A and B are shown apart, each in its own frame.
Chain A
């Protein structure tokens, strides 16, 4: 089934810097979502972007979607130590029934 692939696998930055994570997928989608997971916890929904949208903002988060390249990016501006987590993208599966999650990007924000 279709799966988003996040890149990089791991990212380490200093507090105050911006963090950018990318997600590529294989086939056409209706929606793409980004989630955050703190260590040992469940996932928290961050933002959903529809296939007819190119950019969405939520606080310090900015998500872009390029359907021609089948890719999305998540930008976290002015990062904080509390942003340390794994970030996952999720895309519709081939049947449009469920969302399929990629392997995630592990972000470490150093104080």
Chain B
């Protein structure tokens, strides 16, 4: 079944640790996104990609980095986690050629940095 998967679902980690949030999709979508969302608040776009070897920064400045080596995989990395990074991170994908389709979202990773 075509879907988008995020792991881990929950992560509690100490300050200064390096972490990678995984996102994979099986729909063959070219475009992928990372959003940051605090509980009950709006979504902020932090990174997006048009396809392999393409990465762009979103509207919200973020200390994270992303890579797109394979179409299906769009991991997000924090080199040194801080308490201010505590949030929910949502990955999404969409076809690039047809803007008549909505985004497909993963279930999210809830990150807590202590």
Hey, which bits of chain A sit against chain B, CB under 8 A? 1, 3, 30-31, 33, 35, 40-46, 48, 50, 86, 88, 90, 92-93, 98-104, 106
Which of B40, B43, B110 is packed against the most chain A CB atoms within 10 Å?
B43
A1 touches B43 (CB 8 A): no
State the majority secondary structure of interface residues on A. Answer: strand
B42 touches A98 (CB 8 A): no
Q: In the complex where A101-B42, A103-B42 touch, is A45 in contact with B104 (Cβ < 8 A)?
A: yes
Stretch from B68-76, B77-85, B95-103 forming part of the interface with A = B95-103
| CB of B54, distance to nearest CB on chain A (Å) | 12
18 A-B contact pairs sorted by A residue (CB < 8 Å):
A1-B59, A33-B103, A35-B105, A40-B88, A40-B110, A44-B105, A45-B103, A45-B104, A45-B105, A48-B100, A50-B100, A88-B42, A88-B43, A98-B48, A100-B45, A101-B42, A103-B42, A104-B40
Q: In the complex where A1-B59, A103-B41 touch, is A41 in contact with B102 (Cβ < 8 A)?
A: no
Q: Which of B84-114 contact A (CB under 8 A)?
A: 88, 90, 92, 99-108, 110
C-alpha gap A61/B110 in the complex (Å): 30
Q: In the complex where A86-B40, A98-B48 touch, is A33 in contact with B102 (Cβ < 8 A)?
A: yes
Hey, which bits of chain B sit against chain A, CB under 8 A? 6, 33, 35, 40-43, 45, 48, 58-59, 88, 90, 92, 99-108, 110
Residues of B within 8 A of A33 (CB): 102-103
Residues of A within 8 A of B106 (CB): 42
Q: In the complex where A42-B90, A98-B45 touch, is A48 in contact with B59 (Cβ < 8 A)?
A: no
Which residue of chain A lies nearest to B104 when distances are taken between CB atoms in the complex?
Answer: A45
Which of A3, A40, A48, A102 is packed against the most chain B CB atoms within 10 Å?
A40
